[in-house]
Every structure is written in C-alpha cells, then in structure tokens.
C-alpha cells in the first residue's frame, strides 16, 4: 500500500488571490462564475488543490495497484489555453448533455471549454449536479 503525496493535494492557498491572478478579464470573470456555480451546486467551500485547481469536496481513493490518496469531488482550473473542468466520474453518463453543451472537448475526466459564452450554462449546471451527486453517492 503506497500513499504518495499527490501534487494536487488540498491546501490552504487563498482561492480569491488565485482568481485575482488570472490574467485575462474574460477568463477571470468566467473563473469567478464557475466557482460560484460549483459552490452553489455542490454545497462545498472552494479550496485550492495544488497551485492552480479550485476544487470542491474531497474523497479518498484506493486503486487496484494499491496506490491511494485524496482528491476533489469536482473542480476546475483556468489554464492558459482553456478552462478545464474536472468531472471525476468521466463522461459515459453525459453523452446526451454533452451533445447540447456547445463548443467543448473532453479527455478522460476533463471537460475543456474556451469560455462560458461558448456553451449552454444550464447544461453545464446539469453536468456539475449529476457529477457531484455520483461522487457523493459513491464516496459519501
């Protein structure tokens, strides 16, 4: 059983200071809006995970390999190229929602958007709600 310190561990860095450091005005405004959206839907207080991820809630995981750690239940990061939303359960259950979302890309658990103006915020709220519900059901 290994418990290596995850680079994206929850820490006490100031979320508002981090948001203030986001360079582009539109991205900073979108970051603020997504933060409030995730906080409202999840009921969790925003916390920094690593140096650039705003996360909500936490859970403990153990992989079949024995590796274990703690991570956020949902979160996002305003990156230089785009905004990455971390939808921890992945996207299998969201194909109908993604079809209605607007301009985006996905990775395994990552939803990439350029800006909120490119997507349907109502659909994004639905995806966030389902994701947090799944994580709460699975991990308490």
Please tell me the distance from the alpha carbon of residue 88 to that of residue 11, in angstroms, as a whole number. 19
Q: To which H or E segment does residue 123 belong?
A: helix 121-139
pLDDT (0 to 100) of residue 109: 93
pLDDT (0 to 100) of residue 93: 82
pLDDT (0 to 100) of residue 15: 98
pLDDT (0 to 100) of residue 92: 86
Mean pLDDT for back-to-back runs of 10 residues, the chain (140 residues):
61 97 97 98 97 96 88 96 94 91 95 98 97 94
Domains along the sequence of the chain with CATH: 10-139 (3.90.1150.200)
């Amino acid at each position: 059983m290994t418990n290596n310190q995850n680079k994206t561990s929850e820490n006490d860095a100031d979320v508002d200071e981090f948001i203030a450091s986001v360079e582009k005005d539109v991205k900073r405004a979108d970051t603020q809006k997504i933060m409030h959206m995730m906080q409202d839907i999840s009921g969790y207080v925003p916390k920094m995970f690593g140096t650039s991820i705003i996360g909500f809630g936490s859970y403990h995981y153990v992989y079949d390999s024995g590796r274990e750690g703690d991570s956020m239940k949902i979160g996002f990061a305003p990156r230089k190229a785009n905004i990455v939303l971390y939808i921890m359960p992945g996207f299998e259950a969201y194909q109908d929602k993604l079809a209605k979302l607007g301009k985006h890309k996905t990775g395994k658990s990552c939803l990439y958007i350029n800006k909120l103006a490119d997507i349907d915020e109502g659909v994004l709220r639905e995806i966030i709600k389902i994701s947090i519900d799944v994580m709460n059901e699975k991990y308490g």
